[in-house]
């Protein structure tokens, strides 16, 4: 009598069946993501008089404030999961002296988004250049970038170095770095492995697929999310409920598709090759000495790499959102930078 022996465990699926199961699961995930995105679609934002249209069709929300007849324009570039209002203490203090241009980065605030592939620091540098071209007129420009906004400034320096020393006469880099960023709370060897093998991008892509569902969960409205956010951005600072609420609200409003798209871009970011451009203009590098997101040592290294044109300022007791929590220190540093930019004084370095 012939026939197959039974092991009592039932038939085992072959590799082809396993592949089809995986592909079917992936297809289901993509279909679910598409359905969720159709309910909560992304937008490029509508055209308007206060918008800058980028060369890839994204509309950036901008605002011009301060003196129309000012001899210099200050352009502010905000950080990750934030918006232009994070600089309100700065442009309120400087508005009587300068013309101010603020804008929301793509995917943030009132600006449009685009595609997953546009979430790069180089793209943000291009956006910043287009804001300068379209919104600043002919007068000299001073750039102020915080965190991710500082990375956009550094990227712009690599893309269009001819602007620095000609149109751009001063730069402030707040709570930022030129590369090799700390990977949140992940050990550096693990983070480097994730970038090298593509694991970080794969995880971010998975989060991007699930982003609409995560947005519905609103993790930063929950107690655990609020505690993580406060620890990461403010450390042990004693803050007003208004300040905490302002930052929490920007994180809640920033879609998870944007968060997951920009994360691998920041992890893999490295534009140290652009730093020599800042030797042409007065530069201030400012950081809080309790910054857990980008430690103050990174700012000091940034200033030392730039050289004599850079002044390093370390603000005691400040965390990552130093422009919100210690506005007087930041405003004083910016006023001194404007003095140097307007008078054309030589390089200055202090700590």
C-alpha to C-alpha distance for 220 and 152, rounded to whole angstroms: 25
Residue 157 domain-assigned (yes or no): yes
Q: Domain for residue 139, yes or no?
A: yes
What's the rounded Cα separation, in Å, for the pair 136 and 116? 29
Check whether residue 261 and residue 326 sit in a common domain: no
Task: Select from 236, 265, 294 the last residue of a domain.
Answer: 265
pLDDT for 142: 98
Pair 63, 155 in one domain: yes
* Number of domains the chain is built from: 2
Per the DSSP assignment, residues forming a β-bridge with 310 are 283
Average pLDDT over every residue of 66-85:
93
Instruction: Let me know whether 169 and 293 are in one domain.
Output: yes
Examine the domain organization and report whether 119 and 149 are in the same domain. Answer: yes
> In angstroms, what is the C-alpha Rg of the chain?
23
Give the range among 39-48, 55-64, 204-213 with minimum mean pLDDT. Answer: 39-48
169 and 84 part of one domain? yes
Domain assignment of residue 205, yes or no: yes
Q: Are residues 90 and 104 in the same domain?
A: yes
Say yes or no: 177 and 294 in one domain: yes
Residue 35 belongs to some domain of the structure: no
Domain presence at residue 2:
no
Q: What whole-number distance in Å separates Cα of residue 164 and Cα of residue 277? A: 7
Examine residue 320 and state whether it is found in any structural domain, yes or no. Answer: yes
* Nearest of 107, 123, 144 to residue 56 by alpha carbon: 123
What's phi and psi for 145, nearest 5 deg?
-125, 130
Predicted TM-score of the model (pTM): 0.76
Indicate if 280 and 250 belong to the same structural domain: no
Query: CA-CA distance, 268 to 197, in Å (whole number)?
Result: 12
Give me the CATH number covering residue 134. 3.40.50.1820
Q: Is the dihedral of CA 294, 295, 301, 306 positive or negative?
A: positive
304: which 2 tokens?
């030392």
- The length of the chain in residues reads 351
Choice between 245 and 67, residue whose per-residue pLDDT is larger:
67
157 and 276 inside one domain = yes
> Which residues span the domain enclosing 211?
188-265
β-pair partners for 146? 174
Report whether pLDDT(345) > 90. Answer: no
User: What are 338's two structure tokens?
Assistant: 């404007």
Boundary-marking domain end, from 214, 249, 265? 265
* Shared domain check, 292 and 227: no
Please count the other Cβ atoms lying within 10 Å of the Cβ belonging to residue 223: 7
CA distances for 15 relative to 1, 3, 25, 27, angstroms: 30, 23, 15, 18
Residue 185, pLDDT > 70, answer no
- Residue 348 has what pLDDT? 43
Pairing of strands 141-146, 73-77: parallel
Is 202 among the domain residues? yes
Three-state DSSP state, 315: strand
Question: 109 and 167 share a domain?
Answer: yes
Cα distances from 238 to residues 39, 106, 242, 287, 322, in angstroms, run 40, 31, 12, 18, 13
In 3-state terms, the chain is what percent helix, strand and coil (to 5)? 50, 15, 35
* Band (199; pLDDT cuts 50, 70, 90): low
Q: Which of 248, 265, 282 is the last residue of a domain?
A: 265
Q: Does residue 109 share a domain with residue 62?
A: yes
- Residue 204 counted as domain residue: yes
Task: Please give the mean pLDDT across all residues of the chain.
Answer: 79
Of 302, 312, 309, give the one whose Cα is nearest residue 278: 309
Q: With contact defined as beta carbons under 8 Å apart, do 300 and 312 qualify?
A: yes
């Amino acid at each position: 009598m012939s026939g197959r022996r039974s092991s009592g465990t039932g038939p085992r699926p072959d590799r082809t069946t396993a592949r089809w199961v995986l592909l079917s699961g992936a297809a289901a995930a993509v279909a679910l993501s598409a359905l969720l995105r159709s309910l909560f679609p992304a937008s490029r934002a509508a055209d308007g008089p206060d918008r800058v249209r980028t060369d890839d069709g994204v509309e950036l929300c901008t605002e011009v404030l301060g003196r129309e007849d000012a001899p210099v324009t200050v352009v502010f570039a905000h950080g990750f999961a934030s918006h232009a209002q994070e600089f309100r203490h700065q442009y309120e203090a400087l508005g009587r002296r300068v013309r101010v241009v603020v804008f929301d980065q793509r995917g943030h605030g009132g600006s449009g988004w685009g595609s997953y592939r546009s979430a790069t620091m180089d793209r943000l540098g291009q956006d910043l250049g287009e804001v300068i071209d379209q919104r600043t007129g002919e007068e000299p420009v001073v750039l102020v970038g915080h965190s991710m906004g500082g990375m956009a400034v550094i990227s712009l320096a690599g893309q269009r170095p001819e602007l620095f020393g000609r149109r751009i006469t001063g730069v402030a880099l707040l709570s930022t770095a030129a590369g090799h960023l700390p990977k949140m709370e992940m050990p550096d060897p693990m983070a480097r492995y994730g970038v090298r093998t593509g694991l970080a991008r794969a995880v971010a892509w998975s989060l991007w697929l699930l982003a609409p569902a995560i947005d519905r969960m609103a993790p930063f409205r929950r107690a655990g999310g609020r505690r993580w956010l406060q620890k990461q951005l403010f450390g042990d600072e004693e803050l007003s409920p208004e300040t905490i609420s302002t930052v929490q609200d920007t994180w809640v409003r920033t879609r998870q598709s944007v968060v997951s798209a920009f994360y691998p871009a920041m992890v893999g970011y490295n534009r140290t090759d652009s730093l020599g451009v800042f030797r042409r203009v007065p530069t201030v590098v400012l950081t809080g000495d309790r910054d857990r997101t980008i430690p103050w040592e990174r700012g000091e290294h940034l200033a030392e790499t730039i050289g004599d044109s850079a002044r390093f300022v370390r603000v005691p007791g400040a965390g990552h959102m130093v422009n919100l929590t210690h506005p007087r220190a930041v405003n004083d540093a910016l006023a001194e930078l404007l003095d140097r930019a307007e008078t054309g004084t030589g390089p200055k370095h202090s700590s």
